[in-house]
Structure 1
Amino acid sequence: YHFKHWMLQYNKVYALEEYHHRLNIFTGHKRRIHYHNAGKHTFSSRLCIYLFLTICPFLPNCSATSGSHISSHGPYPGSVDWREKGNYVSPVKYQGHCGSCWTFSTTGCLESVTAIATGKLPLLSEQQLVDCAQDFNNHGCMGGLPSQAFEYVKYNNGLMTEDDYPYTGHDGSCNFKPELAAAFVKDVVNITSYDEKGMVDAVARLNPVSFGYEVTDDFLHYKDGVYSRYFLIERGRNMCGLAACSSYPLPLV
């Protein structure tokens, strides 16, 4: 599998100087993937379109270090999969080259809690968050936080659907139309930073949650299996485990 095959498969075109730079990166990744797949691991790797994407940066300035989530203190089930409980989890979406991972986490969580509350699963607009949520310390394709995006939806009086405000993968001018808002937030619940039991409690008893994390490079190569690496939570802090910042919205229905 040659670099030119990868370029054709994913419709990539590079000028001569950048071509050699990307080729060197490709060769290094290919070597690491081959080495990984030759060993004994719980997941396998492949060369894919995400190879040269920049991972959406996790912003360390969490909106809340002490949470408002009240835990039940267990006991908790060994596992929970909200996909098996009903039509509560939306399909995987593609963010492209925009650093908008925070918007997809926001909409995914809000879609789920809305479906749990109403029985109807909406597909909500990431692009509205990219274009319109800057007043809540979010930065479009340069990053943001779901907790701050939930606050935007709360005080903005709603979020439109993906059909009414489609995703472009680029920063744009805000085009929110209140009369087309399809999902609403009554309040935002934050889970105490690094409180793994609080996160487990929220997911087990209530609904999916939104959280931010950072991963090692091999996450970009993931193909299938159980990803077994540590999640690096905050740049320069050497902390591993679950998310530093996690939250979920209370839907207004």
Structure 2
Amino acid sequence: MVSTSQKQHILVLFLLLALADITNVMSRKLYESPSLQERHEQWMSEYGKLYKDAIEKEKRFMIFKDNVEFIESFNAADNKPYKLSVNHLADLTLDEFKASRNGYKKIDREFATTSFKYENVTAIPEAVDWRVKGAVTPIKDQGQCGSCWAFSTVAAIEGINQITTGKLISLSEQELVDCDTKGEDQGCEGGLMEDGFEFIIKNGGITSETNYPYKAADGSCSAATTAPVAKITGYEKVPVNSEISLLKAVANQPISVSIDASDSSFMFYSSGIYTGECGTELDHGVTAVGYGSANGTDYWIVKNSWGTVWGEKGYIRMQRGIADKEGLCGIAMDSSYPTA
């Protein structure tokens, strides 16, 4: 006959075995061959990563390990309509990522009230994709420079320029980084899309990417290369905290928008409709280039500036029409567009 003590030991053993099995299931993908060290080496080779010494490499490996654990655990849960991947940002801490990739400057200041020319628009298509319409240039990469504001500004102008002239021209973010430095815009230290529009208006236009290539670093303004190839006449702000107003605007042209991109799930987003539990502390400038619906969920098509290895070949689909007036990640809080 089994004693009470033996029963207790059997129960403890059973619980330990069950816990070990659960742990094994949760980490199976993480620790299967190749080893994490091998994966890190492969990842370094794939993305051309080099470290200054063994100490730095070990530090980056530990960060890589933590990020891989987070990504694998998230995907294993399989309870979200989007997936994450081990991308080119995987050896950065969240703070490092935010400092180097997000450069929108949220400031408490009153902008001049603008009209909203799409206010009375009633004919809104069920879906719009400005990529298909030929108004969006290929995905670009801001690198480790907080110039997202310049990429958002330029993408919106590339869009309206194509819509009005029929010509899609890749424009120069570097001109804004180097030359638009007298106000809030401070190159790799961050800036605002509206200030970018104002600079381009006063400057008489903006030059092409070919004339003034991107360097992912602050530089001296080169007036000799700034001959404008695209001009705008002004800009307007979309009414605050109104996804309906933003929808009307995006139906008519690509729109500069600001979002809170500070969550790890955004950092490693890979595919699907993003529904992350992000906040509204705006820190990143991107461009809304369309919208649509899939499997009963409405979404925005957002062009990012982190290269094609991030997200859906450089884009993210973000849930549209949520209960909060600010929109997911604050996408409806601060958006604007150039006029031509």
Give the TM-score taking structure 1 as reference length: 0.89
Deviations 1:87-136 (A, max 9, x none): 11111111111111111111111000000001011100010010000123
Matching residue within 249, 254, 257 for 1:211: 257
Q: Is residue 71 of structure 2 the alignment partner of residue 33 of structure 1?
A: yes
Q: Kindly state the Cα deviation for residue 185 of structure 1 after the two structures are TM-superposed.
A: 1.5
Alignment correspondent of 2:26 = none
Matching residue within 106, 125, 130 for 1:77: 125
Alignment correspondent of 2:60 = 22
Deviations 1:25-48 (A, max 9, x none): 111110111112212222221111
Does the aligned pair in 1 maintain the 2:101–2:144 contact within 8 Å? no
Alignment correspondent of 2:211 = 164
Matching residue within 81, 84, 99 for 1:45: 84
Aligned partners of 2:245 and 2:154: how far apart in 1? 21
Aligned partners of 1:221 and 1:179: how far apart in 2? 36
Give the secondary-structure state (helix, strand or coil) at the position aligned to 1:114: helix
Alignment correspondent of 2:315 = none
Deviations 1:157-214 (A, max 9, x none): 110000000011110000134772101111111123323222111112x211101112
Aligned partners of 2:266 and 2:241: how far apart in 1? 22
Q: Kindly state the Cα deviation for residue 57 of structure 1 after the two structures are TM-superposed.
A: 3.5
How many residue pairs align between the two structures? 248
Residues 63 and 112 from structure 1, CA distance in 2 versus in 1: closer, same or farther, beyond 3 angstroms?
farther
Residues 105 and 230 from structure 1, CA distance in 2 versus in 1: closer, same or farther, beyond 3 angstroms?
farther
Aligned partners of 1:38 and 1:31: how far apart in 2? 10
1:130-149 equivalence runs, <5 A: 130-149=177-196
Residues 231 and 107 from structure 1, CA distance in 2 versus in 1: closer, same or farther, beyond 3 angstroms?
farther
Give the TM-score taking structure 2 as reference length: 0.67
Does the aligned pair in 1 maintain the 2:211–2:225 contact within 8 Å? no
Give the strand-richer structure, 1 or 2: 2
**One-letter code of the match for 1:56?**
N
- Unaligned 5+ segments in structure 1 are none
Q: In terms of mean alpha carbon deviation, does 50-59 or 30-39 score higher? A: 50-59
Alignment correspondent of 2:236 = 189
Does the aligned pair in 1 maintain the 2:282–2:330 contact within 8 Å? no
Aligned partners of 2:113 and 2:243: how far apart in 1? 13
Aligned partners of 2:279 and 2:193: how far apart in 1? 18
Aligned partners of 2:166 and 2:278: how far apart in 1? 33
1:123-134 equivalence runs, <5 A: 123-134=170-181
Percent sequence identity is 33
Alignment correspondent of 1:102 = 149
Alignment correspondent of 2:106 = 60
Give the secondary-structure state (helix, strand or coil) at the position aligned to 2:124: coil
**One-letter code of the match for 1:245?**
D
Does the aligned pair in 2 maintain the 1:125–1:161 contact within 8 Å? yes
Does the aligned pair in 2 maintain the 1:100–1:142 contact within 8 Å? yes
Alignment correspondent of 2:139 = 92
Aligned partners of 1:188 and 1:235: how far apart in 2? 20
Q: Is residue 214 of structure 2 the alignment partner of residue 175 of structure 1?
A: no
Q: Is residue 339 of structure 2 the alignment partner of residue 250 of structure 1?
A: yes
Runs of at least 4 residues off by over 4 Å = none
- Unaligned 5+ segments in structure 2 are 1-35, 284-323
Instruction: State the structure with more CA Rg.
Output: 2
**One-letter code of the match for 2:43?**
W
Q: Is residue 140 of structure 2 the alignment partner of residue 111 of structure 1?
A: no
Give the secondary-structure state (helix, strand or coil) at the position aligned to 1:135: coil
Does the aligned pair in 2 maintain the 1:129–1:149 contact within 8 Å? yes
